[in-house]
Amino acid sequence: MNNNNQKISLTIDGVEVQGKPGQTILEAAEAAAVYIPRLCWMKNLTAAGSCRVCSVRANGRVQSACTQPIGPGMVVENDTEELRELRRNLIDMLFVEGNHFCMFCEKSGECELQALAYRFGITAPKYPFMFPQRDLDASHPEILVDRNRCILCGRCVRASQELDGKHVFGFVGRGTTKRLAVNAPDNLAQTDAEADDQAVAACPTGSLLVKRVGYAVPVGQRKFDHSPIGSEIENSDVQD
Amino acid sequence: MSTTQERTVPSICESFGNERSRMMDIVLEVQDKLGCVDAETIDAIAAATDAPRVDVESVVSFYSFTSQKPKGKVVIRLSSDVPDIMAGALDVARGLEEELGIRFGETTPDGMFTLEWTSCIGMSDQAPAALVNGLVMPSLGPGTARRGVQILRERNNLEDLQGTLIREYGDGENSHDLVRAAVRNNIRRPGKVIFGRMESGAGLIKALAMSPAEVIRGIKTARLRGRGGAGFPTGMKWEFTRAAGGDDRTLICNADEGEPGTFKDRVILTERPDLLFEGMTIAGYAIGAKIGLLYLRAEYSYLREYLEHVLERRREQRLLGSRVCGKEGFEFDIRIQMGAGAYICGEETALISSCEGLRGDPKNRPPFPAQHGYLGTPTSVNNVETLCCVAPILEMGPGWFSSIGSAGSTGTKLLSISGDCMRRGVYEVPFGTTLREVFEMCGASEPAAVQVGGPSGQMVGPDDYAREICFDDLATGGSLMIFGPRRNLLEIASQFMEFFIEESCGYCTPCRVGNVLLKERLDKILAGLGEKSDLEYLQKLATTIKTTSRCGLGQTSANPVLSTIENFKMLYERLLKEPEEGRQRSFDIQTALSQAQDLTGRESVHFKQG
Ligand SMILES: Cc1cc2nc3c(=O)[nH]c(=O)nc-3n(C[C@H](O)[C@H](O)[C@H](O)COP(=O)(O)O)c2cc1C
């Protein structure tokens, strides 16, 4: 962008914020130290707009903040009771859709789904569990794929292409049969996936795990053990 | 892989230039030739097109009409749409199951027959209907269906399914040599714009004598709005597309017609293909497109050869190609892009994904198709019926068109009427017609309810029968399903939810998960296990799906529940009770204990059976 010095002024929950041309609502908010909850979004990746957790009201319409560009005078609602409830419901849906057993999961404390649930005060989902039959791919010597914990955010799919320059993952099926697939006939071992691929690190849950390092960081010292998800943004300096 | 396969796949890929963007055509042709697209075939396609294999698998696994596992030589797909069920599709299914000795979803051991359910195939006016390898079998009964299977077994001739199965061809062009279908048009009431007039070709000639901007102005003056559901002003859409930069622009005609209960585009494609292609050509001229795509749903593949033939004739008549009608600098041609069984592909951005050879996931907006559509080109997507209004508007003038209908909704609307009435079929009525007038026309006395606009629309009752069909009141793509007093309306709502679960692309959370949860609770209530609090649960869940979903499918999929709660609340209240002893009504202690009792081999002492 050549008009980088230009400012776009908008409000988020009544507070005026200065954004830059080309920014999405989520990016402008983040630069202003305002946290908009999100799951499928990750810095440096194309926005997918699939989890819908970042839903905000922009000029009255519900939009995903990660895909909606800012505009001058835009009025954004973010932290309202309506939106908190919608987000809680979406997070609940992700929990009941898969098989998430936080107490046995080595990602516990580092998991963004779990951390969001805590931030939203969810102790048990309001929807009935679906207990789907999902499979596990332990073929790769270094990496475990556990589809029970997959929330179909697609971060690994995009990170593999956009950051690793590979094409290890993709989605197959549709609707309730949609699942994470690998770029090989049978399993991950047949692909060029490696443990230090950014695609593996991109997983927000315990669905992609590097083997044998699960407890290197003890419980109690993990990322979200002391402060809730999003607080790093809320405590950051406003960028200009 | 057999040697034929080894040769077949690369040559099919090559016939489409090994282009990844032609993946739909490649996969469909491979499916047609080999009966499935298995793992090895996927590898071969990936190699030929230089695509990651997971992307090929992604496409194959997305569409209902492509499969990774082999199916029977004859695949019978019975339409599971509500009008089909109302007309006895379940009896037909039972007849077929008995005749073949298999259940739906299975293939006979000899590899001859596969039975499947499929979403609405656009034949609700002649239900129950099925597709037999693409051949339409309308107005089935359990007896005719069984006899059909017997005949196929006896003759053992799959080359000429038509000749074997069809006794009598339908009316009009349904009996054309290239169609030969048993389908009937059921045009009950021709109107002034589409079915009442003769086609003359004068619209195109007039358009080419004008500048593209003048054509667009004419369409705007006529106040033509999209007939595909959203009602967006067509002239404005064209203007945006024309105004977007670049030399390449694309016109797409949306002939996916997937909304259950609609079949009017089928009749247009059969009886007015020239009117449609003329409209597409004018649209191409107006927006500055060289290519027009007709996205034809797989269920209508029986019309493909016929439509290709009409296109070929138009090329010979110089109505398509370089210098259309001798107009210097105007080049335009039309290609048919087949779909493969996915309702979501009627959504315009999903449709564009599908045309690009991808799974039918909708795209994020912005950018909008008018700026960045098919393969990045500015694209206008228009419905079949919308495009059919274009030539008459040019020929007769915008004033003529806007004098028909009502102020905010000019022209006529085609209605697809099915369900409990005497005369099912297509009606071309001026906008502003009331539901009560519609009932009179089609012979429906005292319906208990009518579903306006298909499952994604709304179910309304007698209080609303004075309302008008138009964009400002009861907006509809044209599907009207009529329900008599004996129908179980909540059961129907549940069947609509089943449709959305089946057809959700699964991209976003609320639509993928929420619709399943909604149906679960609705079914619990239907089973008599609902509690008073379930009504609020349904409303909140439905609202979450509606407000947070990414595209029109999820934004409307909760409507069967929301509109029945709004208009037929007493049906729910009749079924809902207060829980007893503080226990959930759906909780059954014996079921809960049964697994543990089986494992331990003894019964609970506290909770004795019976
Ligand atoms: C799930 C879904 C399915 C749709 N199916 C169709 C369809 O089959 N035919 C159609 O013309 N429009 C369909 N639409 C609407 C299209 O997105 C688009 O608005 C329309 O094709 C534009 O044409 P029009 O302006 O002429 O109506 C569908 C929309 C959604 C959300």
Per-residue DSSP letters for B533-580?
Answer: HHHHHHHHHHHHHHHH-SSHHHHHTTHHHHHHHHH-HHHHHHH-BPPS
CB-CB under 8 Å, B508 with A52: yes
Gap between the Cα atoms of B58 and B56, Å rounded? 5
Tokens of B525: 């209530």
Calpha distance B568→B538 (Å, rounded): 14
Q: Which part of chain B is CATH 3.10.20.600?
A: 415-483
Peptide bond into B510 cis (omega under 30): no
Residue pLDDT, tens place only, A34-52: 999 999 999 999 999 999 9
Nearest residue in chain A measured CA to CA from B66: A173
Note whether A172 and A158 are within 8 A (CB). no
Which residues between 83 and 122 in chain A have a beta carbon less than 8 angstroms from any beta carbon of chain B?
85-86, 89-90, 93-94, 96-97
Domain with CATH 1.20.1440.230 in chain B: 489-575
**Cβ(A55)–Cβ(A10) below 8 Å:** no
Which tokens go with B239?
């203007």
Confidence of residue A85 (pLDDT cuts 50, 70, 90): very high
Beta-carbon contacts below 8 Å between A and B: 121
User: pLDDT, tens digit, for every residue of A199-237?
Assistant: 999 999 999 999 999 989 999 999 999 999 999 999 999
B206-261, pLDDT tens digit by residue? 999 999 999 999 999 999 999 998 899 999 999 999 999 888 999 999 999 999 99
Q: Whose CA is nearest to atom 5 of ligand 1?
A: B346
A158: phi > 0 → left, psi -120 to 50 → alpha, else beta; which? alpha
Give pTM, 2 decimals. Answer: 0.96
Report how far residue A220's alpha carbon sits from residue A25's, in angstroms, rounded to the nearest whole number.
33
Q: Which atom of ligand 1 is nearest to the CA of B227?
A: 27
Q: Is B510 within 8 Å of A52 when comparing Cβ atoms?
A: yes
pLDDT (0 to 100) of residue A1: 45
The residues, ordered by sequence, that sit 6+ positions from A115 with a Cβ below 8 Å of its Cβ are A223, A224, A228, A229
Which class is domain B415-483? Answer: alpha beta
**Can you give the pLDDT at residue A4?**
59
Residue A5: partners with Cβ closer than 8 Å, 6 or more residues away = none
Low-confidence ranges of chain B (pLDDT < 50): none
Q: For ligand 1, which residues put their CB under 6 angstroms from it? A: B 226-230, 232, 254, 256-259, 343-344, 346-348, 381-383, 386, 551-553
3-state secondary structure B415-435: EEEEECCCCCEEEEEECCCEH
pLDDT at A154: 98
What residues contact residue A194 under an 8 Å CB cut-off, 6+ apart?
A142
Q: Where are the beta strands (DSSP E) in B329-394?
A: 333-338, 379-383
Domain B189-402 in CATH: superfamily? NADH-ubiquinone oxidoreductase 51kDa subunit (3.40.50.11540)
pLDDT reported for residue A240: 73
CATH number of B489-575: 1.20.1440.230
Q: How far apart are CA B120 and CA B128, in angstroms?
A: 10
Measure the CA–CA gap between B283 and A231, rounded to whole angstroms: 53
Phi, psi torsion values for A11, nearest 5 degrees:
-120, 140
Structure tokens at A161: 């292409």
- What are the structural domains of chain A? 3-79 (3.10.20.740), 86-213 (3.30.70.20)
Q: How far apart are CA B600 and CA A110, in angstroms?
A: 39
3 state DSSP class of A66: coil
Find out whether B134 and B435 touch, Cβ atoms under 8 Å: no
CA atoms within 13 A on the CB side of B597: 14
Over the stretch B277-314, which tens digit does the pLDDT of each residue have?
999 999 999 999 999 999 999 999 999 999 999 999 99
Helix (H), strand (E) at residue B33: helix B23-34
**What is the reported pLDDT for B584?**
79
CATH fold of B74-167, please? Glutaredoxin (3.40.30)
Q: Measuring from atom 6 of ligand 1, which residue has the nearest CA? A: B346
Radius of gyration (C-alpha) of chain A in whole angstroms: 19
Residues of chain B with CATH 3.40.50.11540: 189-402
